[in-house]
Amino acid sequence: MKIRVFDNSHDAGVYVAALAEQVIEDHASPVLGLATGSTPIPFYEALVRLHQCGLDLAPVKTINLDEYIGLDPSHPQSYAWFMQNHLFSHVNIPKDQIYLPNGVASDLEAECRRYDEVIRKHPVHLQVLGIGINGHIGFNEPDDALLSQTHIVDLRQETVASNARFFHDIEEVPKRAITMGVQAILQADQIVLMAFGREKAQIVAKSVSGGVRTDVPASILNLHKQVTVVLDRDAAAELMDSSGRLRIR
């Protein structure tokens, strides 16, 4: 596991976009696993700028981690809308190469099976992750056991409360979601975990410096051979010594 600490989220996003560019240039049919929420926005902004400077994204396939259950893709807080707003409407990735779970499918279990087949057909070269305040990746919440396949999850109260900032009222926040399982995440060739802000410092430290724990889902990334943790200085605060140097590398 590599840890990279930047002065701000903008610089961190540029770094992750450079990693994505390398993957795109190295593969004839590159597959990017994508995340939503405020954390990856600097990455998407930097990737859009690279496209505007000449990076062709037409060969890219994208597979998103998760989606709220009950939100139509046209809903402004759906992750489909988020991706369209922050990335897809600004680049030349063909629509038929974009994959997201369908949170309004009539048969949600069948939708989970469909999404597992998408993941099987298109192995991810670079998986981008954020981390929840309780350590979730995707919407794999802390539990006695972490599920390997795409599944329906009841969101923890702390997750609902954290996501309420995107809604007018906490009662509007969906309480369930479809999420990619941890096995699919770990099958990616390369993983980047991004975290910014002092409120993420404690869970980042628990995730990268301890053993694998199901109550800290992100800690499972310690099992992967190629993970880069990308932080700003606030998120890295509990990994630093008194002189501001990383205690672990």
Residues assigned a catalytic role: 66, 134, 136, 141
CA distance 68 to 75: 10
Among candidates 119, 115, 118, which has minimal Cα distance to 105?
A: 115
CB 211 within 8 Å of CB 222: yes
Q: Where are the beta strands (DSSP E) in the chain?
A: 2-6, 31-34, 61-64, 66-68, 98-99, 126-129, 151-154, 176-179, 190-195, 227-232
CB 247 within 8 Å of CB 240: yes
DSSP 163-194: HGGGSSSGGGS-SEEEE--HHHHHTSSEEEEE
CA distance 124 to 69: 24
